[in-house]
Structure 1
Amino acid sequence: MTSNLRLRILSALVMAAVALGVTWIGDWPFRILAVLAGLAIYAEWTTISGISSRRGVSLAYFVLVGIPLLLVLFGVPVGVVLPALLAVFLLGLAIPGSDGKSRWGAWGILYVVLPVVSMSMVRGDTTAGLVGILFLFAVVWGTDIFAYFIGRAIGGPKLAPAISPGKTWSGAVGGVVCGTAAGIAVLMVAGASAGWAFVAIAVVLSVLSQIGDLFESWIKRRFGMKDSSSFIPGHGGVMDRLDGLVAAAFGLYVIGWLVSGAETPAAGLFGN
């Protein structure tokens, strides 16, 4: 085992312990963690896109992204948060910028706030929310871990060589299979329903997490960056670590919304 892999594993274990501990508590501590992660991702987004080099514009965007994040932090209903998000997004698009970077700041607001809202609403302060978030973590983490190791072990055709040369189809398929199995295992341990519908949901979330990973790789490649930052030893930045979760969390929220409503997305899926 290389020193970099050991560092990567140690960092992952520490982050998992913190995430699981706060997830177990739920409610406002979970919202605080989600909002802090969102702010960290947005800081990296503005650095990657070059917005951070323009202090006035950067400050304006942080004020805008802070509005819906504060609403989430204080537990404001999603029926207020989402219109506020739309408003600040449109204001972000209106910020002038001759180099075209302003639009990246506005789209970054959606990229950050939507998953923060999604995870906060899914978790809530209910047992169903706890099961739902653990299911989400299991699928995303299982996908990420096994895609990495299976891809390295088997190799084969590249998944998207122009975007992320290291990813293979064997890793992608192995990630879906193992991520789905991990999610179903969590449901079975929790005593929740684990029928074929949840297998399908897990597959969708696993695929979304890999799309999120590829999207972040595309963003970095577009701006000539290797990592979003060096904040997490062995992993790069917060955005590097949570890219798959960003997409999968929003996907789970949309599914839960369709089943039981925007305010109680976990109740219809993971409630007893």
Structure 2
Amino acid sequence: MTGGASGGGRPRSTELRLRIISALLLAPAVLLATYAGGWPFAIGAALCAAILLQEWVVIVRANNMVATGLAAVAVAGAMLAVATGHPQAALGLLLLVAAVLFCAGWLLGAVGVAWLAGGVLYAGLTGVVLVILRAGEAGFIVIVFLFAVVWATDIAAYFAGRRIGGPKLWARVSPKKTWSGAIGGFLAAVLVGLAAGMLVGGAPLPGWLVAAGVLSVFSQVGDLLESALKRRFGVKDSGRIIPGHGGVMDRVDGLTGAGVLGYLVAVAASGAFSDPVAALVGMQGY
């Protein structure tokens, strides 16, 4: 994120106004698609995945048309598979094509093609995981909770980092991010977990608090990984599609981190690919 989570320094007022206006316009559309679920949500997730792949291609300078075409087909095919109720096929397709691209790039000495493998996983898993989670037994609550944790982490980290400042979180990768911002974002996420536990229930309050804290950490990991990618290739913003925010990747890096890593942990703990959250809750007897 451009001065996103855990950031330091003072934002320019014009940039801040653009951020607020963009957020006010985008958030209702995202929440409406989330409420609708089904195909509207899947189409929105697929559009997000497509833009993420395009931005990744630009960042890593993957100029091979065959490779980029294969990557696009893989992401589109995975989104179609998950939208029609075949999550394991979607995940398998992404892993297979990513492996093919990485091996081809390594064998041919084509760095951009090898890096494109990461784009298939980054973009594809973001879209696929969101659809899997939304299709679950408590899908609407799960997605809204995920959004709330990520947004709270991002906003609190943004302002805490600028107000408090202090030691840098990972100066070599993202010079503006601070430990004060990271801690502020984490605490805000825990408050979201507290509110969710009190208002929603369905699981013990400590479970909500732990989930919020873990997802907040994963969100900030996603933010840092995107910053590392952009620094590796000397890019400031992933794109300019959202005024004041840069590209879509600049906005959903935290969501990707929290959603994908959270999903993988839930799958590892429950053994369920289709609805790991419900499986985890069921394992606790709730």
Using structure 2 for the length normalisation, give the TM-score: 0.87
Instruction: Find the aligned partners of 1:23 and 1:35 in 2 and give their Cα distance.
Output: 13
Aligned ranges for residues 193-204 of structure 1 at < 5 Å?
193-204=203-214
Tell me the CA shift for residue 214 of structure 1.
Answer: 0.5
Q: Which residue of the other structure, out of 28, 32, 37, is the alignment partner of 1:26?
A: 37
Matched, 1:72 2:82: yes
Q: Which amino acid aligns with 2:87?
A: V
Q: Residue 3 of structure 2 aligns with which residue? A: none
Report the count of equivalent residues.
Answer: 269
Instruction: Find the aligned partners of 1:7 and 1:115 in 2 and give their Cα distance.
Output: 25
Instruction: Find the aligned partners of 1:70 and 1:93 in 2 and give their Cα distance.
Output: 23
Instruction: Find the aligned partners of 2:192 and 2:47 in 1 and give their Cα distance.
Output: 27
Cα RMSD of the aligned pairs, angstroms, is: 2.0
Q: Which has the higher contact order (CA 8 A, sep 6+)?
A: 2
Q: Which residue of the other structure, out of 91, 95, 103, is the alignment partner of 2:104?
A: 95
Q: Residue 10 of structure 1 aligns with which residue? A: 21
Instruction: Find the aligned partners of 2:281 and 2:15 in 1 and give their Cα distance.
Output: 38
Q: Which residue of the other structure, out of 83, 89, 113, is the alignment partner of 2:92?
A: 83
Instruction: Find the aligned partners of 1:144 and 1:77 in 2 and give their Cα distance.
Output: 32
Q: Which amino acid aligns with 1:211?
A: V
Q: Residue 157 of structure 1 aligns with which residue? A: 167
State the SS of the aligned residue for 2:175. strand
Q: Residue 190 of structure 2 aligns with which residue? A: 180
Aligned ranges for residues 81-230 of structure 1 at < 5 Å?
81-96=90-105, 97-124=108-135, 126=137, 128-230=138-240
Say whether the 8 Å CA contact 1:209–1:246 is kept in structure 2. yes
| Deviations 1:103-137, CA, capped at 9 Å, x for gaps | 111121111122222211111164x1111111111
Q: Which amino acid aligns with 1:88?
A: V
Instruction: Find the aligned partners of 1:5 and 1:21 in 2 and give their Cα distance.
Output: 25
Tell me the CA shift for residue 225 of structure 1.
Answer: 0.4
Say whether the 8 Å CA contact 2:198–2:205 is kept in structure 1. no
Instruction: Find the aligned partners of 2:69 and 2:266 in 1 and give their Cα distance.
Output: 34
Using structure 1 for the length normalisation, give the TM-score: 0.91
Tell me the CA shift for residue 44 of structure 1.
Answer: 0.2
Matched, 1:54 2:58: no
Tell me the CA shift for residue 197 of structure 1.
Answer: 2.1
For structure 2, list consecutive stretches of 5 or more residues without a partner in the other structure. 1-11
Change (3 A) 1:138 1:155: same
State the SS of the aligned residue for 1:159. strand
Instruction: Find the aligned partners of 1:130 and 1:64 in 2 and give their Cα distance.
Output: 27
Instruction: Find the aligned partners of 2:41 and 2:102 in 1 and give their Cα distance.
Output: 30
For structure 1, list consecutive stretches of 5 or more residues without a partner in the other structure. none
Change (3 A) 1:159 1:210: same
Instruction: Find the aligned partners of 2:266 and 2:47 in 1 and give their Cα distance.
Output: 24
Say whether the 8 Å CA contact 1:64–1:92 is kept in structure 2. no
Range with greater deviation from structure 2 (77-86 or 238-247): 77-86
Q: Which residue of the other structure, out of 254, 260, 270, is the alignment partner of 1:250?
A: 260
Instruction: Find the aligned partners of 2:13 and 2:104 in 1 and give their Cα distance.
Output: 46
Tell me the CA shift for residue 78 of structure 1.
Answer: 1.7
Instruction: Find the aligned partners of 1:155 and 1:34 in 2 and give their Cα distance.
Output: 35
| Deviations 1:127-164, CA, capped at 9 Å, x for gaps | x1111111111111000000000110111111111111
Tell me the CA shift for residue 270 of structure 1.
Answer: 6.4
